[in-house]
């Protein structure tokens, strides 16, 4: 396959009109087969397995290498200095704008390692649509590009992504990191049976997730995706992503989450929308709580659609979240990082109990 990821969007053609046209004519990028991830790096910061409490940093859509990402990381470092984090959740779009060009790409240094210097603990990383770009940035159409981020797992002390999807059991919580890109790509894999909604990759992932969630004995089960199921921001919720027609609207992801996640996990953490949202219970999630934290590098400067009731929303500032997890409770804090003031401001706090 020719590498077209540096190609800019066609002049005079916006993303929505281009994608709608793509759906109409059935154009797609042919994709290859899955390559499994590799073993962990020998010198990786150790995972806190068996922990009776966890302090977790939650970021999403961070990987720009620009000043806002550094400002968010500075604010996280300030918290880490007073109360060290055990792990971080990186909720996708790790390498803007079009993903890496191989596991040795210098972008891993400029857009992950250098901005996060001093945040020395495992980062559980999720694949986003920008990490799988093909024709234009963020189209999600070259899924094999994401394998470069899996391969980088062996080269970094911080970056933890042993497979495209995986789980990590850490005592009081088990984290299930999913890859929803085949079901939510702006250029769906029409011509590749491996990646299609009913293909081998998603079938394997569904069977693995069903078994892993059923077998988990952790007090808290936390699922991480890049794309959110429920979302009040401009990208919209699964089944209505960006106002596009099916299947570009994420309807297959909506079905997947309702069948395999809803009512089976305590939380669904996602990025994609460059905002922060703590949503109230969504009936179709059957008690699984949707949290969006995708503002670690960019913000959308938009208004909430108000489609879903929210405890907290911010569509203007960059930001991140923290979790304090014990066997009986999770305390969530949302921090805002404004371009007009240094540091961060704790804007929202809430505690969830079992």
- What average pLDDT does the chain have? 89
**Residue 5: pLDDT band with limits 50, 70, 90:** very low
Indicate if the pLDDT at residue 86 is higher than 50.
yes
Give the residue extent of every domain in the chain: 51-353
Q: Is the pLDDT of residue 48 over 60?
A: yes
| Average pLDDT estimate for 53-82 | 97
What percent of the chain shows pLDDT beyond 70? Answer: 88
Asked if residue 184 has pLDDT above 80, the reply is yes
Give the DSSP per-residue string, 27-68: ------------PPPTTPPPP-TT-SEEEEEEE-S-TT-SHH
Q: What are 332's strand-pairing partners?
A: 323, 350
Dist. CA 95–CA 99, nearest whole Å: 5
pLDDT above 90 (res 4): no
pTM of the model: 0.89
Rounded mean pLDDT of 51-62?
98
293-335: pLDDT as tens digits: 999 999 999 999 999 999 999 999 999 999 999 999 999 999 9
Which residues fall within 8 angstroms of residue 211, CB to CB, at 6 or more apart?
none
Query: How far is the C-alpha of 15 from the C-alpha of 212, rounded, in Å?
Result: 37
Instruction: Please name the CATH architecture into which domain 51-353 falls.
Output: 4-Layer Sandwich (3.60)
End-to-end CA gap in the chain: 49
**284: pLDDT strictly greater than 80:** yes
CA gap 26, 188 in Å, rounded: 9
Q: What is the mean pLDDT of residues 180-207?
A: 94
Query: Do 178 and 209 meet the contact criterion of CB atoms below 8 Å apart?
Result: yes
Tens of pLDDT, residues 25-47: 232 322 223 233 334 464 789 99
Q: Determine the pLDDT at residue 100.
A: 98
Q: Which of 125, 132, 157 is nearest to 296 (CA)?
A: 125
User: Is pLDDT above 80 for 16?
Assistant: no
């Amino acid at each position: 396959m020719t590498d077209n990821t540096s190609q800019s969007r066609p002049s005079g053609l916006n993303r929505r009109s281009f994608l709608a046209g793509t759906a109409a004519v059935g154009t797609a990028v042919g994709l290859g087969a899955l390559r499994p991830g590799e073993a962990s790096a020998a010198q990786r910061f150790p995972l806190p397995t068996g922990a009776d409490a966890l302090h977790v940093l939650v970021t999403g859509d961070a990987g720009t290498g620009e000043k806002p990402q550094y400002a968010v990381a500075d604010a996280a470092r300030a918290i880490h200095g007073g109360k060290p984090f055990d792990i971080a959740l990186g909720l996708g779009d790790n390498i803007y704008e079009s993903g890496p060009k191989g596991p040795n790409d210098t972008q891993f240094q400029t857009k992950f390692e250098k901005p996060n210097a001093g945040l020395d603990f495992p980062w559980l990383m999720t694949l986003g649509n920008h990490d799988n770009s093909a024709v234009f940035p963020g189209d999600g159409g070259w899924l094999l590009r994401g394998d470069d981020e899996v391969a980088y797992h062996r080269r970094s002390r911080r970056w933890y992504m042993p497979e495209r999807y995986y789980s990590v059991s850490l005592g009081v919580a088990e984290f299930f990191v999913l890859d929803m890109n085949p079901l939510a790509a702006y250029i769906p894999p029409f011509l590749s049976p491996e990646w299609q909604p009913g293909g081998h990759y998603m079938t394997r992932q569904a069977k693995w997730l069903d078994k892993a969630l059923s077998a988990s004995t952790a007090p808290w089960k936390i699922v991480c995706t890049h794309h959110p199921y429920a979302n009040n921001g401009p990208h919209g919720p699964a089944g209505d992503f960006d106002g596009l027609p099916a299947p570009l609207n994420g309807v297959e992801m909506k079905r997947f989450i309702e069948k395999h996640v809803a009512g089976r996990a305590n939380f669904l953490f996602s990025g994609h929308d460059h905002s922060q949202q703590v949503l109230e219970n969504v009936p179709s999630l059957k008690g699984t709580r949707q949290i969006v934290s995708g503002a670690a590098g960019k913000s959308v400067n938009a208004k909430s659609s108000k489609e879903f009731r929210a405890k907290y929303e911010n569509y203007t500032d960059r930001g991140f979240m923290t979790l304090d997890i014990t066997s009986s409770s999770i305390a969530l804090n949302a921090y805002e990082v404004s371009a007009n003031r240094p540091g961060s401001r704790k804007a929202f706090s809430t505690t969830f109990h079992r």
